[in-house]
Amino acid sequence: MFSSKSLLRSLRQSGQLPVHDFLAPALFAPTSRRCISTTTPKSNASAAAPSNQEGSAAAGTPKPKRKPLTKEQRDFLSSALRVNQAGELAATLIYTAQKPPLVNAHPHLRPLMSHMYEQEAGHLRTFNVLIAKHRVRPTALYPVWSVLASGLGWGTAVLGREAAMACTEAVETEIGTHYNSQIRSLLEMFEGWEAEGYEVGPEFRDLVGTLRRIRDEELEHLDHALENDAKQAKPYWLLTSVIKAGCRGAIWASEKV
């Protein structure tokens, strides 16, 4: 009697019988796996922006002005856009080079590889537009990165599926950290402006939004790589540490030249 009462109560609350949870967990458990096309919606990234702006507008002068960028800020922004363009170029080439050998050996990876390539190509287009709009020079090492990235992609794909995924994992880990530090510096810049009573223009709000969206998509690739046995690559520690060191070196060099 008592147990049937509690069963009814839980049925009313949850709308489904509790027994299903252990009989067929896959049917009812909320799906925690990400679908291939999942990206964070853009509105999510820029949602925090307007409230800040209104706050400073209400507190300060009726029409807040925008501050001219200092030399350090302009240098930071140009090296940031330059290194991002170089990074997305390399990512596009890595996937381009990985795809034929990998898909040949494992045809089921074709939709995943095409999807990741499409996203990287979209990022590259975004940064090409930004770099032309803001008159930043592209990296002088462009041909070097092209050759190295194609070589890396092709080499890891020939080593096998696990090695290719370990390469993706290493690259995306570094890229995710890199985008995070850029977003942090930009937010610090905004805080500085707002503390002085200046306004942050929509140009910079959009830039942070774009960086956040791209970062999330890169981290999604990281998840895909882990789902596809990146950790089982044979000399895993060697592959990932070499590739990570290479990424850091490339980021450092692209920021300079």
Partner 1 sequence: MAPTTRAFATRLASAAAATTTKSTTRSTAACLRSRSNRRSYHSHDHPPPPGAFNTAERQILSAAYRHVPDHGFTHKTLSLGARDAGYLDISTNVVPEGPFSLIKYHLVSKREALAPRSAEIFNAPVGGADGATPDAAAGTRGQLLTVPERVERLTWERLLANRDIIHRWQEALAVMAQPSRVPASLHELALLSDEIYHLAGDLAVDPSWYTKRASLSTIYASSELFMTNDCSAGFGDTRAFLRRRLDETSSLAGVVGSIGQWVGFTASAGLNVLRSKGARI
Mask: binding to partner 1, 134-163, rule CB under 8 A, as x and -? xxxxx-x-xx----------x---x-----
CB 41 to partner 1: min, Å? 24
Residue 188: what are its φ and ψ, rounded to 5°? -60, -40
Number of helices (H) and strands (E), helices first, in the chain? 11, 0
Of 77 and 222, the one with the shorter C-beta distance to partner 1 is 77
Binding of residue 100 to partner 1 (CB under 8 A): yes
Secondary structure (DSSP) of 87-147: HHHHHHHHHHHHHHHHHHH-GGGHHHHHHHHHHHHHHHHHHHHHHHHTTPPPPTTHHHHHH
Of 77 and 90, the one with the shorter C-beta distance to partner 1 is 77
- CA–centroid distance for 126 within its chain: 13
CB 128 to partner 1: min, Å? 5
Mask: binding to partner 1, 61-90, rule CB under 8 A, as x and -? -----xxxxxx-xxx-xx--x---x-----
Binding of residue 53 to partner 1 (CB under 8 A): no
Stretch that binds partner 1, among 109-117, 126-134, 175-183, 221-229 (CB under 8 A): 126-134
CA dihedral 225, 162, 98, 176 (to 10 degrees): 30
Separation of first and last alpha carbons in the chain: 78
CB 25 to partner 1: min, Å? 40
Rounded to the nearest 5 percent, the helix, strand and coil shares of the chain are: 80, 0, 20
Residue 123, marked binder = yes
Residue 172, marked binder = yes
Residues in the interface with partner 1 (CB under 8 A) total 36
| Residue of 46, 128, 177, 180 that binds partner 1 (CB under 8 A) | 128
Count of CB atoms within 10 A of residue 152's CB?
Answer: 22
CB 257 to partner 1: min, Å? 11
Distance CA 220, CA 31 (A): 16
Contact 57, 225 (CB under 8 A): no
As a whole number of Å, the CA-based R_g of the chain is: 23
Residues lying near partner 1 in the complex (CB under 8 A): 66-71, 73-75, 77-78, 81, 85, 100-101, 104-105, 128-129, 131-138, 140, 142-143, 154, 158, 201-204
- Binding site: residue ranges? 88, 120, 123, 172, 218, 221
- Binding site for Fe cation: residue ranges? 88, 120, 123, 172, 218, 221
